[in-house]
Amino acid sequence: MTQNLILSWRLSWAIALGLGLGSCAAAPDRQDLVLQLMQQRECIGCDLGPVNLPDTNLAGFDLSGANLAGANLRGADLTGAKLDGADLSGADLTGANLTNVDLATVKTEGATLP
């Protein structure tokens, strides 16, 4: 719980300063989606594009159908996350934990997998 509160605080400041979202920094709608993701633990069908979320706890989150193409998810914990139909093309998942994640319907072309 404390880790999620700290992460939410860090994301809020990153968004306020225009940091941490790669090329998405100018898209308020995308910033809102990142906040929604962290608060509700889901963002079904969201277009998060090249979001920057390294070392983030996304365990159990529902990202079904989400666009995470080009995302930086290095070291992220995606244990048990739902990624059905998600697009991780070109995403960097170096060191990410994908335990109990079904990648059968996930687009992973050009992605760096753990």
- pLDDT tens figures, 47-81: 998 999 999 999 999 999 999 999 999 999 999 99
Pick the CATH number of 1-114 from 3.60.150.10, 2.40.50.140, 2.160.20.80, 2.120.10.30: 2.160.20.80
What pLDDT does residue 30 have?
75
Domain ranges of the chain: 1-114
Confidence of residue 34 (pLDDT cuts 50, 70, 90): confident
DSSP notation for 12-52: HHHHHTT-SSGGGTT-HHHHHHHHHHHHHSB-TT-B--S-B
Per-residue pLDDT tens digits for 89-104: 999 999 999 999 999 9
Q: What is the pTM of this model?
A: 0.74
Instruction: Say if residues 80 and 64 touch (Cβ distance below 8 Å).
Output: no
